[in-house]
Structure 1
Amino acid sequence: MIVEEESVSLDIKQKIENIGHNVIDTTNTGKNAIKIAKKYKPDMILIGINLKGNMNGVETAKKIEYLDIPIIYLDNDETGKNIENAIMTYPFGFISKPYDSTELEHVINFGIKKCAEDLNKIKKVENDVKRKNKELLIEKICVAAMIGISSTLIITSFLYFNFTWMQWLLFIPSCVMIFLALANLLKQEKVTPYEVPPFVTMMVPAHNEEHTIEDCVRSLANVNYYYKGKKNFELIVINDGSEDRTGEVLSRLKEEFDNLKVITRVPPRSGKGKSYVLNDGLRIAKGEVIAVFDADARVDDDYLSIIMPYLNDENVKGVQSRVKIYNKDENFLTAMQNIEFGLFGNIVRAKDILGKAGFLGGNGQIVKKEAITALGGWDGFAITEDLNLSIRMMVKGFEIRYCGETCVYQEAVPTWKQLFRQRARWAIGNFEALFIDTPNILKSKLPLLRTFGIIEHISFYILNLFIFIGFIVLGIDVFSYYYQNHFIIEMNAPLIIGLISAIGFFPGVIISLNRDNFSIPSILTNVIGYWIYSFHLIPLFFITCYQMLTRKERTWAKTLHLGNDGKLKVKGEMTEFKIGDNIDATISYDSK
């Protein structure tokens, strides 16, 4: 449809029809244009900015905005007063006088193509939302079944004073834990440095990170990774709608570091979750390799030089570095988290040794850009984007390695409330993967050992529930034998089965502490401390199940980072973001 004065409309109509398009109608007033648009819903409207009557082209466009018809303005406004208002209606283009056939063809074809792309994108998102809502229902059913079966087994066993079944159940995961602990003692495959090291894009999502972002940027921007005397990396920080001083700090740092770029995501598109933030950064990333860090990350200056050779293999698409806690001495909780991350690193190291089947973490993950692109980027609906990406990479046949020679330092949460909030999100991500991804994992052509390794990894929280319930049962029996000279609760599995089921938790922790050069007395005290700390996995399981059963949509809970201001008292310890309603972020790109 064309909306312009009659002589101009007829001329444009003839030119448009000559290039192969049909014009359903023409008019010269906004009032008539609205009626025609409602009746015929044309694929595109060409409308003059100045029209006859009491309604101009911009006002007309606003009236029919709800019809989602692409608008192209015919720039007949010689004063230019309404151009700014026209831009605010998000048109598909402008055509200036004289209305040349070539320009008309170019702008119209571009508008049609762009409209088709947008419609396809909207359709894809709608399909994704439907699929994810279906998955949400599946998760609720699976969680209800899981908590029902596990609670029934535990309660019934206490009523009948017999937990023999649990000894058999825990035998296999205990064997796996012992096997991984022993495999961890072997040496990893040697790496070969690149002849020409790849250019790296380091990305840091940031939301309200005023306490840590400066130390993070200074640490990452100063890494010693050069090629032919030039910095071989760039640093992109994506400021995701921060309401504190994060933007101010980044603006100041941008003047200091010429390789720092800042993307600012603004409402209403900001605050949708880490995956969307990373995908926005990916759009402008120049690197062949993408390195993802949290806003509290700190690294040694040789970090990239040490870790990059692990990617120098055609089949290896990702590598995870070790994670250490820089505030581990703050209290018992932070010290135990440091041990926990060390243990996770050793498990991933063992899986690397056994077949380069490691897992990526949220901080210090290094991935080839081609692999992320091949998988369609990070999944915006995933609660734990790192686990989701790891599984999709391995199902695709990609290999993931582990580098323990260098590490990324991060801040541990110092309170139990923060810990449960953070770990509930991690557990939800594991259960999502367990219930939704397991069919795809089983249908993939992965080797049996790798398939088992993935499923064992994402079953962590349910297995640990039974492991620590088992410790409680064992404690009750030890107590009853000491005071009454007999066991209250029966566990009648063969001795070797019961023994392995009972000790499977400890070898990995001992080896992890020994690798960090703890003294023998310190190893003993920390093993006991970590064992006690790990009992939080029992209430965490039920908290996670409750959240998954009661949630109506996926939310992403951001961990609060306090940095050197760790003693501050804060009201909001975490921010929750809705997941899944972000089609295309509004981005303000700012680089020096």
Structure 2
Amino acid sequence: MTAFAVIDDYRRGKTALFLIACGWAGAAPHWVETGRSLLPAITLAVFLGGYGLRAVLQERKKGSQNPDKIDLSLSDPKEWPMVDIVVAARDEEAVIKSLVKRLNLISYPKENLSIWIVDDGSKDKTPVLLDQLVNQFPKLNVIHRKFGAGGGKSGALNQALREVNGKWLLILDADAQLQDDLLKRVVSFAEQGNWSAIQLRKAVINSEKNPLTRMQAMEMAMDAVIQQGRLTSGGVVELRGNGQLLLRQALEKCGGFNEDTVTDDLDLSFRFLVTGSLVGMLWNPPVKEEAVQTLPALWRQRQRWAEGGLQRFFDYWSILISNKLTLAQRYDLSCFFLLQYALPVVTMFDLMTAIATRTIPAYFPLSIVALSVSGLAFWRGCRKVSEGPQLPVASPLTVLFAILYLAHWFIVIPWVTIRMAIFPKRLFWAKTNHLGVEAL
């Protein structure tokens, strides 16, 4: 049996236990007196609602420092640390040329900057285009991997990690778009704050394409607000893949990227956490990226995110509840896990039991509170100043639509949980297709 097969069996067992626990929690209130059936949901609504409100309302106080106050006075190129920009690319012919051209326009001392693009077994014209671009851009380094080389995106990033020698790595997706001074600002922010990693806010460049992309733009703003609030409260900031600046020493300390996961960024967030490496969050400047434009593409993307999110909790649970983490971090992770992953699964069993027993769903107070807090985060996020694409207007109607859109997680997470508990996993990099949208 391979190492990944052992890990997969372990995760399936943990997922099955999680599914059983959620099933019991969702069904149990329907077998008690009507007056008491809502008690668990009301108790959790107060407890978890307070956690969510605290995160949303405190996000301005810390961890969101004004980037205009970042010291950019370093004039001697020797004072700027070495930075390697790393991109793992598979079948990116639509965006790869634009990406390389944009990266070479970044305002940063050229002698302290290298660009690394890993062609991870592309079947389209990506390898040919990269080989042509190497002749035009001296700072560009290309690594070619064979198709099926293993490890998914993490394997591609680990291969680049063995080649780079800079102090910092800026990890980007192939559709990333950056303003010229972004690197100086984020590196200065990281150096001055003694962070081991910085996650940039992700801003959607095609939000006006259709209602689906608009909702994703609001979702990214909401996510950044909650991330900053979690940091303020002594909780955990999670990496988001695109636009993450990583201290190479910290990355090597935690063993690099995990090649046995489908979401390298979420897994790395916990690896940094358990090794004491601090992760910060920066609202401006953002990293700009494309949102998926169709429901099938959204469904594929969110399944991968949900699976990776659950995987990391099952992989690191023993450390997450240990004294290696602060009490505030354990509280934050517990509340986040219950809201993000347990609530949708419990709600599914609650609804199924309600239909079977012809009773009222017992957890609707908690769901209402969770979605209402998310609505507040939508409203606050879309009203903040953005140096990236203009954020959607946070009117009552758009916030209502955003809340309804967010309810898709109540379908995605239960389905992924059931699938993980029953079917073996075949590790594969299920990348998001990029179309080459330019920011306005």
Which range, TM-score by smaller chain? 0.7 to 0.9
Task: Report the TM-score, using the length of structure 1 for normalisation.
Answer: 0.64
**Aligned with residue 131 of structure 2, among 246, 251, 260:** 251
CA distance in 1 between counterparts of 2:350 and 2:215 reads: 19
**Aligned with residue 314 of structure 2, among 430, 435, 448:** 435
Indicate conservation of the 8 Å contact 1:209/1:246, yes or no. yes
Query: What is the identity, as a one-letter code, of the residue corresponding to 2:336?
Result: H
Indicate conservation of the 8 Å contact 1:138/1:435, yes or no. no
* Aligned residue number for residue 411 of structure 2: 539
CA distance in 2 between counterparts of 1:460 and 1:427 reads: 13
Q: In the alignment, does 2:156 pair up with 1:273?
A: no
Instruction: Describe the superposition over 1:279-329 as per-residue Cα deviations: whole angstroms up to 9, x where unpaired.
Output: 000011121101111111111111101111222158520000010111111
CA distance in 2 between counterparts of 1:311 and 1:492 reads: 42
Q: In the alignment, does 2:300 pair up with 1:421?
A: yes
Indicate conservation of the 8 Å contact 2:23/2:349, yes or no. no
Gaps of 5+ in 1: 1-125, 474-487, 567-592
* Aligned residue number for residue 340 of structure 1: 219
- Using the TM superposition, give the Cα deviation of residue 529 of structure 1 relative to its aligned residue in structure 2, in angstroms: 1.0
Q: Higher mean Cα deviation, 402-411 or 182-191?
A: 182-191
Indicate conservation of the 8 Å contact 2:26/2:346, yes or no. no
- Name the SS for the 2:196 alignment partner: strand
Higher relative contact order (CA 8 A, sep 6+): 2
Instruction: Describe the superposition over 1:403-456 as per-residue Cα deviations: whole angstroms up to 9, x where unpaired.
Output: 111111111111111111111111111111222312111124221002222333
CA distance in 1 between counterparts of 2:132 and 2:42 reads: 59
Query: What is the identity, as a one-letter code, of the residue corresponding to 2:239?
Result: L
Task: Report the TM-score, using the length of structure 2 for normalisation.
Answer: 0.85
Matches within 5 A, 1:454-493: 454-465=333-344, 489=360
- Using the TM superposition, give the Cα deviation of residue 554 of structure 1 relative to its aligned residue in structure 2, in angstroms: 4.3
Q: In the alignment, does 2:199 pair up with 1:320?
A: yes
* Aligned residue number for residue 152 of structure 1: 27
CA distance in 1 between counterparts of 2:433 and 2:392 reads: 33
* Aligned residue number for residue 225 of structure 1: 108
Distance change in 2, residues 1:176/1:210 (3 Å): same
Q: Higher mean Cα deviation, 514-523 or 344-353?
A: 514-523
* Root-mean-square deviation over aligned CA pairs: 3.5
- Name the SS for the 2:209 alignment partner: coil
Gaps of 5+ in 2: 353-358
Indicate conservation of the 8 Å contact 1:198/1:287, yes or no. yes
- Using the TM superposition, give the Cα deviation of residue 333 of structure 1 relative to its aligned residue in structure 2, in angstroms: 0.9
**Aligned with residue 184 of structure 1, among 54, 59, 65:** 59
CA distance in 1 between counterparts of 2:193 and 2:374 reads: 36
* Aligned residue number for residue 240 of structure 1: 120
Distance change in 2, residues 1:445/1:519 (3 Å): closer
CA distance in 1 between counterparts of 2:178 and 2:232 reads: 25
Identical aligned residues as a percent: 22
Instruction: Describe the superposition over 1:131-183 as per-residue Cα deviations: whole angstroms up to 9, x where unpaired.
Output: 51442343343243245335535876999995443222232221111101111
Matches within 5 A, 1:25-424: 128-129=3-4, 131-153=6-28, 162-187=37-62, 188-189=64-65, 192=71, 195=74, 196-226=79-109, 230-269=110-149, 272-312=151-191, 315-355=194-234, 357-424=236-303
CA distance in 1 between counterparts of 2:223 and 2:323 reads: 25
Which structure's CA Rg is the greater one?
Answer: 1
Distance change in 2, residues 1:436/1:281 (3 Å): same
- Name the SS for the 1:366 alignment partner: strand
* Aligned residue number for residue 376 of structure 2: 507
- Name the SS for the 2:200 alignment partner: strand
- Using the TM superposition, give the Cα deviation of residue 471 of structure 1 relative to its aligned residue in structure 2, in angstroms: 13
- Using the TM superposition, give the Cα deviation of residue 275 of structure 1 relative to its aligned residue in structure 2, in angstroms: 0.6
Instruction: Describe the superposition over 1:38-83 as per-residue Cα deviations: whole angstroms up to 9, x where unpaired.
Output: xxxxxxxxxxxxxxxxxxxxxxxxxxxxxxxxxxxxxxxxxxxxxx
Distance change in 2, residues 1:554/1:192 (3 Å): farther
Distance change in 2, residues 1:156/1:526 (3 Å): farther
- Name the SS for the 1:298 alignment partner: coil
- Using the TM superposition, give the Cα deviation of residue 240 of structure 1 relative to its aligned residue in structure 2, in angstroms: 0.5
Q: In the alignment, does 2:321 pair up with 1:446?
A: no
CA distance in 1 between counterparts of 2:50 and 2:255 reads: 37
Instruction: Describe the superposition over 1:379-412 as per-residue Cα deviations: whole angstroms up to 9, x where unpaired.
Output: 1102211111111111111111111111111111
Distance change in 2, residues 1:471/1:349 (3 Å): farther
CA distance in 2 between counterparts of 1:520 and 1:248 reads: 38
- Using the TM superposition, give the Cα deviation of residue 335 of structure 1 relative to its aligned residue in structure 2, in angstroms: 0.6
Indicate conservation of the 8 Å contact 1:174/1:505, yes or no. no
- Name the SS for the 1:351 alignment partner: helix
Query: What is the identity, as a one-letter code, of the residue corresponding to 2:318?
Result: P
Distance change in 2, residues 1:491/1:375 (3 Å): closer
